[in-house]
Structure formats: C-alpha cells, structure tokens
Amino acid sequence: MGYTIDFSGSFQLNTPLQPRMLEFLKKFNETRRMKRNVDEAFGIEGEFYVLGTGSFGQGNEPNIIDFNNQPSTQPSLWCQWTPNEDGTAIEWDGGEKFYHYNEWLCYIINKILAPNGYVLNGTVTWQGEETGDVGKIHVVDNVITVAPWDEAETVMTAENVSKFSYKTGETTGYMRTDVVLIIDEQPLAIEASKPVLGEAKQETNESVRFAKWLAIYTDEEKFTQAPCRRYNKHVYTIDELYDIFVAL
C-alpha cells in the first residue's frame, strides 16, 4: 500500500555537476536515510552518510541508531531526486511512493547544491493518484515555488519549510543550514598517506575515498534566499580523516 505520485520534467543546473558531486548525489538517492551514530564529518546524525552496506545501504550496521527514522534534519527515509546521467539536471528517479518531495528539493538545494555553487532553474509537474492532486514546482535561481492547481502558490525557504510526523501528529521545522556539505573536487593522495592493514583494506579505502569530500561549513549570518552564502570553514586534515575512518 501507499500513495504514488508521478512527476514530469526536470530542474536544470547552471553548470554540469563535477564528478564527486555527481557520484555523491547518486549514492544519496540510492541509500536509505537512517539516523546514525557516525563522526560529525557526515553532518547531523549521519545525514550525509552514503556508505551503508547491503541492499540500498540497509545492511545491519552498529552505527545505525534507528532503522526506521531518518536524521532529524531530513524529511523522510528516501530522497528520490537524483541527477540525470550527464549531471546537467535534477529529476525524479521514477520510483513509487515519493513522499515529502518539495521538502527534499529544498533540502538538497540549501544543504548540498547551493553551498557548492550550483543553481537550479526549471519546472516539474506532479500528478497524484487522487483527482485534483496535480500541480507544478517552479525553481528560479534556487528559490522554490509550489503551485497546486487549486491552491495558492507557496514559496519554500529553509526558514519556513517543515515536515509532518505521522507518528506524533506534529508539524515541525527540520532544516539546519548551519551545517552543509561542501565537496572538494581536488584530488588528494590520501590513500597513500598511511598503510592500511588486514582484511579491512578495501572497506577502509572506500571510506577514505569518500572522506576526501567532506568538510563542515557554518553560517556566519542569518539565512537568506541568495544561492550562495558565506561560511566559516572547518576542513579536516588528512590525519584526522584517516583516524576517523579506520575506526569505522
């Protein structure tokens, strides 16, 4: 059971995604968003963690706090927005039961794309199973306007976006723009910085390869709708990253 919505169209990027960003967003789409106890390099409650094992990242791992709850900064367990093949647009992945689609779009713009200098523009239409559940999502320079056919338009920002919990019946805010993901596209010879021993070699190298991308950036000023903002940067050193990920 569940409710299925179909989407048509895509949001165009101002420039094609760089290789690491393209791979990260694909893995982010393909893995279940579960609350995890991992290093802060992966954001709040592991919100940027894409290294899960098993099918769709759902392997039974000790760092999972709650299999059925996403990190507090995210609207649901699955983000079904994904890059197209050549990394020039963001589109629906075609999967069924995509819930909180507007909230997820707001999330990936404000927490991932905009901090890395990407700007979205375009219109996507939706059609739900119920008669009248139809509308358009307009994005102009990273600003989202949701336009149901029978209701007033709503502009979604990181300040006013919220999520509804079916478990508690409460509507709460969730967006945290004080911690965002910055992906470093510059190559680092981090795997060669220290020897990796034993059977964990392949897994650790995979973790370290992803660690090259991660840095925590913190807002200096109140959020605005501008697509790019200033950040105080804390970048992990090679030794810090190595120590973090050999401990996984």
**Per-residue pLDDT at 28:** 95
**Per-residue pLDDT at 163:** 66
Provide the residue-wise pLDDT of the chain in tens; the chain has 248 residues: 567 889 999 999 999 999 889 989 999 999 999 999 988 778 899 999 988 888 888 888 999 999 899 999 999 999 999 999 999 999 999 988 888 899 999 999 999 999 889 999 999 999 988 777 899 999 999 999 999 987 889 998 888 887 666 666 666 667 788 888 888 776 544 333 333 434 444 444 444 444 444 544 444 443 333 333 333 444 445 555 555 555 55
Tell me if 56 sits within 8 A of 31, measured CB to CB: yes
The whole-angstrom separation of Cα 79 and Cα 56 is 12
The answer to whether the pTM exceeds 0.95 is no
Enumerate the domain spans of the chain: 5-173, 180-246
**Per-residue pLDDT at 239:** 57
**Per-residue pLDDT at 204:** 47
For the stretch 176-200, what's the b/e string if a residue is b when 16 or more beta carbons lie within 10 angstroms of its beta carbon? bbebbbbbeeeeeebeeeeebeeee
**Per-residue pLDDT at 151:** 82
Neighbours of 122 (CB within 10 A): 16
**Per-residue pLDDT at 246:** 54
- Write out the H or E segment, with its range, that includes residue 121: strand 120-128
